[in-house]
Amino acid sequence: MRKYYLAERLKNCHTSVGKMMLLMPLVTVCLAASLTADYFTIDCYNWWYIILFPGMIAFICAAVGNRDKKADSRTILTLPADLGAVWDGKVLYGIRSMGIALLVLFGAVLCFSVGFEQIAQRGFHINLSISQHVQAIVVLFVTSLWQIPFCLLLHQIIGKFLMILVHMGSYFILAIELSLQPFFMVLPGGITARMMCRILRILPNGLVAEPGSITFTSELLEWKALPLGIAVSLMWFLLLWIISRRWFKTRIMR
């Protein structure tokens, strides 16, 4: 599997993927710093996982899948390659790209926070501990893994632009609405926003998760939702990986 991952990495080393991994998190941080400095940290994360993160994943998956799709996968068929492992390489490269983007976000948020507090002598209405930052990045990574095989599969079926529109539109609706419901784990798009309610005390609408905020309920801050959401996200990830892998092998062999 490693050689297929390395092949994907080589194919995409001079594409827009590398730029997106760096630019998208930095754009998020700069926007939050310039527009809502008093709530800088929580807005960085809120804007990221609600809109910019799923958008970045969709664009990365489109770039990863586009080369083979343009050639109708003829380049793959000419090689003595394990088709399932080819798909695994694409998924692993997408996961790697997602992880790097999250690390860039983590480092940028911490650096800007220190700059605001130590250099500009400006505090925030809500301060996050290092532990909260780390928890947020780890949970964002784990609960977003399902997006990689899902977007890769959707791109193969309906194409780049429709995939981006469908994924971002459905994710936004699910993150805002479904995450607040008791059955938030039914569809994976609502899980991440629900986890952030507990870790960072941020509601999907960007408000602080406290009594008096619109859509707030005490159930959103329960700890039991955290391990449940993580477990269900991993199940969705494995399920979508298996389904997309089988579909890819079947389609290519026709």
User: pLDDT tens digits, residue range 16-44?
Assistant: 788 889 999 999 999 988 888 778 888 89
Return the pLDDT at 38. 78
Percent of the residues in the chain that have a pLDDT greater than 70, as a whole number: 89
Has this prediction a pTM greater than 0.85?
Answer: yes
CA distance 25 to 9: 20
Q: Among the ranges 16-30, 60-74, 109-123, which has the highest mean pLDDT value?
A: 16-30
Rounded mean pLDDT, 134-160: 94
Return the pLDDT at 120. 58
CA distance 113 to 40: 8
Is residue 232 pLDDT above 80, yes or no? yes
More confident residue, 128 or 4: 128
CA distance 40 to 124: 7
Kindly report the CA angle at 202 between 193 and 209, in degrees rounded to 5?
Answer: 120
CA 46 to chain centre: 12
Is residue 74 pLDDT above 60, yes or no? no
Intra-chain end-to-end CA distance of the chain, in Å: 23
